Chain A
Amino acid sequence: MEKSNLKWYLIIFALLVVIAALSLLLIFHRPAPLYRPIHGFLLHHSHRVLTVSDVGRIQNWMTFDYINKIFKLPSDYLKNTLNISDSRYPNLVLYQYASGQKIKGSDFIVQIQNAVRNYLTPAK
């Protein structure tokens, strides 16, 4: 390896480490004044709670964990409602689970949608 190239490899590596360190600092540390407006914008936009009208967005490539998070469901709600005993829950893809249980994918999606709808619909 040429000496001049090695110098550039080291500079780039150092730059990447600095970028990574700065990002980690922004994530885990209190936002710096410059970052605060951006952070505020991100928080404002990221807290749009999905409602009953969004249950149609559930698809079989999603995981239980993802559905729990985006619909703000209690972590064990789907597990208990659908009697899921798989130890990989909630890090389990819907399709994977449905095929393992020999359930038709589209039918299972409907079951999930109904369970989420029941949770999100306020009791009369």
Chain B
Amino acid sequence: MDYFSTFGSLLSYLLLYKYVALFIFIFLSGVGFPVPGNTLLLAVGAFTSQSYFSFPLSLTIACIANILGDLFDYLLMRKYGKFLISRNFHKKIPFASKIRQYVKILDQYVKEREFIVIFITRFLGIAGTAVNFLSGLVPVPFKKFIFYDALGNIANIFLMLSLGFVISASWQTIANIFGVLWTGLGIFILIFAVIIIIFKSKKRTTSV
């Protein structure tokens, strides 16, 4: 692995600052910064198998950081989302000009499937961030969001750490494969969701 790759530097910081770095990276990943959270968790899982990190402590810190990161998005959108839409800032962006219409469709979709949407997307990186924003915008009730988010995050983080723990020294090979899969799947779901929304909104306007 080339040191100059961002991931190499992240791993160095992880080894130097351990749990502080783990908290910061997972929090940023939860907020939506392009930090490979799941791959880092695989690495930490491997480090726990070498007794360099503690499994329960890593699990706790990663869960808290990820939940706080998701909450940041949710609360941000809950507080300012409707205000931003009412100010029509989005109308300056061609695609986002119909955002109010899209939110109505998503509102209905998310409200009918809150658990599935929030829980499943905890495993899908970038799609999870989009759902955090959306949940704040709809808004999904706070207690429901936090409950489903916590469940999903605990399950995902436990899975990633355990996988890293089991594959141990081979984690880098597996991480490369998973990295591509996760990113691909997350982007695919986002594109799919956008297509469905556009399709539904067009259908609705023609039927009116």
Task: Name the A residues within 8 Å of B165 (CB-CB).
Answer: 42, 45
Q: Which residues of B contact A (CB under 8 A)?
A: 1, 3, 8-9, 11-12, 15-16, 48-52, 54-57, 59-60, 63-64, 67, 142-143, 146, 150, 165-166, 168-169
Task: Name the A residues within 8 Å of B49 (CB-CB).
Answer: 45-46, 48
Once the chains are docked, how many angstroms separate the CA of A66 from the CA of B56? 20
- CB <8 Å contact, B143 and A8: yes
Q: Decide if A47 is an interface residue (CB 8 Å cutoff).
A: yes
Once the chains are docked, how many angstroms separate the CA of A47 from the CA of B165? 12
- CB <8 Å contact, B64 and A20: yes
Q: A23-B57, A45-B165, A47-B51 are in contact. Are A93 and B12 (CB under 8 A)?
A: yes
Which label, helix, strand, loop or mixed, suits the secondary structure of the B interface?
helix
User: Nearest 5 pairs between A and B by C-beta?
Assistant: A61-B8, A23-B60, A95-B3, A23-B56, A93-B12
What is the size, in residues, of chain A's interface with B at 8 Å between Cβ atoms?
A: 33
Q: Give chain B nearest CB distance to A1 CB in angstroms.
A: 10
Task: Name the B residues within 8 Å of A12 (CB-CB).
Answer: 67, 146, 150
Task: Name the A residues within 8 Å of B142 (CB-CB).
Answer: 5, 8
- CB <8 Å contact, B3 and A8: no
Task: Name the A residues within 8 Å of B1 (CB-CB).
Answer: 59, 61
Q: Decide if A62 is an interface residue (CB 8 Å cutoff).
A: yes
Q: A5-B142, A63-B12 are in contact. Are A27 and B54 (CB under 8 A)?
A: yes
